[in-house]
Amino acid sequence: MAAIPEWETTHSIQYIDPYGDTVFNRLQMECFLDEWRNVENLAPSPDEKLQLGEIRILGVRCKNSAHLYLKFVGD
């Protein structure tokens, strides 16, 4: 994920590391999901919007269940 200047002011998304792993827990999901809606709205194509929507679905599942984490794996 390329660094986007607007994301530098976010509380959670700015910490997604494109080169390392980033893990969010259930307590962080409310903030993450609020910010993720903005990311989805910026998607330039329907395919990317679909992929971002799948991540949101995983985030909602994480938020609503104990012992689940949303993990981004860098290269």
- Predicted confidence (pLDDT) per residue in 23-35, tens digit: 999 999 999 999 9
* Residue 60 neighbours by CB distance under 10 Å: 14
Tell me if 4 is assigned to some domain.
no
pLDDT reported for residue 6: 64
Read off the pTM: 0.85
**Structural domain range at position 45:** 14-72
Gyration radius (Cα) of the chain, Å: 12
Tell me if 7 is assigned to some domain.
no
Tell me if 1 is assigned to some domain.
no
Tell me if 5 is assigned to some domain.
no
- Could you tell me if 52 and 36 are in contact, meaning their C-beta atoms sit under 8 angstroms apart? yes
**Distance linking the first and last C-alpha atoms of the chain:** 10
Question: Mean pLDDT for the chain?
Answer: 91
**pLDDT, mean of residues 30-53:** 94
How many domains would you assign to the chain?
Answer: 1
Eight-state DSSP code of residue 74? -
Tell me if 2 is assigned to some domain.
no
